[in-house]
Structure formats: C-alpha cells, structure tokens
Structure 1
Amino acid sequence: MEPLTVITRLWERIDARDWPAVSRFIAEDAVIEWPVSGERIVGRDNFIAVNSDEAYTDERSVELLRILADGDVVVTEVEIRQEHVVYRAVSLWTVQDGEIVGAREYWTSPGQDPAPRWRAALVEPLAQHLAEHPVAD
C-alpha cells in the first residue's frame, strides 16, 4: 500500500475509533514523537493505548485538512474540534512496506501561545485572515 494511502486510511480509522484497524498501520516497534509535550511513544501497543485512552474517546471528529507525500514521508495537517477547544496537528509520518515506522507530531491549539506585544504593529490576527482567505489545497 502506498504511503499516502496508509496515512489517509490511518486518519479515517482514528476518526472512526477503530483501534484494531489503526494497529494494522503501525509497525510493532514504531516510534512516534510529540515534541510539544516532550513525549516519545515507543511501540504499536503504546501508540494504541495512548490514542484510545478515555481522555480521547469523547465525541470528536478528525478533519484531514492537508496531506502531502514524498516517497516514504507523508505530512498531514489535521484538526480536531471539541466542545471548548480546537486541536491542530502537523504530523510527519515515515511509512515503509505499508507500515508506519516513525512519526513526529506537533499538537497544539490555535492561539495557545500568546504573541509577543512587540510584533503587534507588524502582524495581523491569523483567525481573521483564515476566515477571509481559507487555505487552498
């Protein structure tokens, strides 16, 4: 299976909370890094356990905003909206022989990191710009 297809199906199965299907896309010894929180998930079983934890099983949907592939590397941007918060992730996946062997995911919430005041005269609010000019695929 092509890397782009693997990752597209991965996000579809995560959205469906189909953990047995998700596990088929993850190599047994895969390493997934989350630099924003300073965590490293080693192994398929740990990846499934983290993602299927009750803290993540609420009514949420995964929207795949963008996906790009170059050989074995696939980059995705996803958004997960919950009642009081929006999560965004940019993920860099490495796929070999139809399995994810590694990834680095940057999870955050838009606006979570306050902008320094000194830049105020040089920038405009991103939320306003996105509403007026959505990102084209």
Structure 2
Amino acid sequence: MNTTPEALVREFWRLMASNDFDSVRQVLSPDFVMEWPQSRERIRGADNFARMNSEYPSTGRWQFQINRLLSQGEAVVTQVSLTDGTQSAEPISFFTVEQGRITRLVEYWPDPFEPQANRSHLVERMD
C-alpha cells in the first residue's frame, strides 16, 4: 500500500465507519498491536481487532467523525467523536505507521465529567 501515514489513518476511520470491521484489516500490519493503557489491555493482530469491534455491543451503526488529526512522519494522532446512537465517546488515538500499514495503535478513552462549581465564573459550557 503506497500512501502517506495521514491518508492511511483517514482510510482506517473511513473503514471503521463502514461498520465492516473485517475490512479494516487491509490497513493493519500482520503484527498489529493495539493498547488501551487505562484498562491495561493489549490486542494483538488484525483478526482480533476486527473481531473485538464486531462483537462490541451496540444499539445501531457506529458513526465516526474526525475532529482533529495531527501527522508527523510515521506518527498520526486523531481525536474522533463516535456514537452508535446511544453510546458516545471521544477517544484520542496514537497511530504508528510503518511500510504503508498501521503497526500500533494506543488509545485513550476519557470519561466525561461535570465541571466543578468553584470555576463556574471562569468557564462557559460547551453543549
């Protein structure tokens, strides 16, 4: 696959949005590894990644929107909004691309929280 790391990651998210998670394997390296540091989980291999996404409980089709993408060399970082119509999240994803394939993905899944009252005079809500 002859493409830039940024284009490859954009294709990753396009394929994820198809909800055909087996198709995502085409942009992943055979020795692909994904890590979720917050839960201390590691998924090895494109097949396990596709299966995990296929088996994840949802109430509808997953939708993905890239809000921010930064690319430098073989490293690409995205901030993506995703939803199945009921669940929603905004993960930060760190991709490593080598030889035209995604070899590593480290994702952080922050939980939303309510703002603290002691700073209410300094902030505005982003609803």
Cα distance change, pair 99–126 in 1 and its aligned pair in 2 (3 A): farther
- Check if 1:51 corresponds to 2:53: yes
Give the alignment of 1:9-20 within 5 angstroms. 9-20=11-22
* Paired position in structure 1 for 2:89: 87
Deviations along 1:71-113, one digit per CA (max 9) or x if unpaired, are 00000011112333321100000001110111110123422xx
Counterpart of 1:21 in structure 2 is: 23
Matching residue's letter, 2:83: R
Preserved contact between residue 36 and residue 108 of structure 1 (Cα < 8 Å): no
Unpaired runs of at least 5, structure 2: none
1:104 aligns with 2:106: yes
Aligned to 2:77: 75
Match for residue 121 of structure 1 among 118, 122, 125? 118
> Matches of 1:23 and 1:106 in 2, distance apart?
21
Structure 1 unaligned blocks of 5 or more: 132-137
What is the CA distance between 1:63 and its match in structure 2? 1.0
- Equivalent residue for 2:68? 66
Runs of 4+ in 1 over 2 A off after TM superposition: 18-21, 56-60, 81-85, 108-111, 122-127
Answer whether contact 1:15 1:62 (CA < 8 A) is retained: yes
Give the deviation of 1:127 after TM superposition.
Answer: 7.5
* C-alpha deviation, 1:60, in angstroms: 2.5
Deviation at 1:59, TM superposition (A): 2.3
Q: Does 1:40 align with 2:42?
A: yes
Separation in 1, partners of 2:105, 2:14: 17
